Amino acid sequence: MSVDVENYTFTPDVAPKLGPKGGARFAAAALRYGALLSFLAILVIFSVAAPFFLSIFNIGNILGQTAITGVLAIGLTVVVIAGGPNVVTGGIDLSLAANMGLSAAVYASLIQAGYGDGVATLAAMATGLAIGAVNAAAVAGIGIVPLLATLAVMNVVSGLELVLTQNTVIPASSDALTALSSASLFGIPALGYALVGFSLIMGLIIQNTRFGLRLYAVGEFPEAARAAGVPVRSYLAASFLISGLCGGLAGILNTAYLSGSSTGSGEMLLPVVVTALLGSVFSRRLVPTIGGTLLSALFVGVLLNGFQLLNLSSTLVSGVQGVLILLTVSATTLIRREN
């Protein structure tokens, strides 16, 4: 049997309609609408407990804080789409946070050395792309399981960042960084607009182009895509390259947000994984989408901001993120198994 991927209008909503049971359909609807209701409930609770929560200033602060995590999560979402939703054997990129850290260090180092924003931007993006290329070669070329390949790359990249920065913050200041960190419109910072704009661009590419539809086909039906002549490995490699570019872009945004590089970028990994995996819950039929990831990023950003306003422990934040991962993976796994 062969499948004509060229003429088959595959959309993220199609896969789960291939004969789902009534129980799975009900559970999927309950999970999706339950997540939206939970988001609304959290907004109400925080707005009551913290009077300034819904102020324009705080909303802008949430968008600014969410920008870096959101860009990284979008990169991870692309990898999950192309590699499949299985967290062990499917698409995953654990090197994204380390990628951001090294890209930020490269950007800050060049700015401090007297180079312009153009050179620093190209170097940071090239750094992210190079890391993505290593992941692509390891996973799509050699065939190493993504979980192990990206874990190894994460350790190597983290080591390179330590060598470059000597485990210290490298300050950076330039006109472009100042504009990103300080400029605002209607109370929303430039970083927030960067997140929304980037999400729209990636959403158009992934959800509305032949390239994006083939990514979904490669991730959901790799054997059918291969039988139809789609170069599965090439698309899988492309997803890691896109993820690498997202790491480079996040490094630039992080440098602007902190006015320099940052140590301990590995702490970003858990929020990024939470955001990407939770994104499928905010999308139709429990499949990863860019729009779902954006909503998920805002959800996680609201949680973090609300906890900060209420002076709750950061340990509690990590615990909540871990619970969200466990619940999301468990629920989606059970529903897919029943399908």
Going along the chain, which residue ranges are E strands? 184-185, 188-189
Q: What is the pLDDT of residues 149-162, one digit of tens each?
A: 999 999 999 999 98
Residue burial 269-281, b: 16+ Cβ < 10 Å; e: rest = bbbbbbbbbbbbb
Nearest 5 degrees, angle CA 301-CA 146-CA 160? 75
Contact (CB, 8 A) for 332 and 109: no
Q: What is the pLDDT of residue 319?
A: 73
Q: What is the token pair recorded at 107?
A: 């950007």
Q: What is the pLDDT of residue 76?
A: 94
Q: What is the pLDDT of residue 11?
A: 46
Size of the chain, expressed as the number of residues it contains? 339
Q: What is the pLDDT of residue 28?
A: 57
Distance between CA 187 and CA 207 in Å, rounded? Answer: 30
Distance between CA 59 and CA 270 in Å, rounded? Answer: 23
**Phi, psi at 188, each rounded to 5°:** -100, 125
Q: What is the pLDDT of residue 314?
A: 63
Give 188's strand partners. 185
Q: What is the pLDDT of residue 15?
A: 40
Burial status of residue 314 (CB atoms within 10 A of its CB: 0-12, 13-18, 19 or more):
exposed
- What are the mean pLDDT values of the chain's consecutive 10-residue runs (339 residues total)? 44 43 56 70 80 81 87 94 78 91 93 89 95 94 91 93 87 84 80 91 92 89 86 92 95 88 78 84 79 88 81 70 68 59
Q: What is the pLDDT of residues 309-332, one digit of tens each?
A: 877 766 676 677 667 767 666 666
Q: What is the pLDDT of residue 260?
A: 81
Q: What is the pLDDT of residue 20?
A: 47
Q: What is the pLDDT of residue 12?
A: 47
Q: What is the pLDDT of residue 7?
A: 46
Distance between CA 175 and CA 51 in Å, rounded? Answer: 35
* Structural domains for the chain: 15-338 (1.10.3470)
Among candidates 336, 339, 320, which has minimal Cα distance to 90?
A: 336
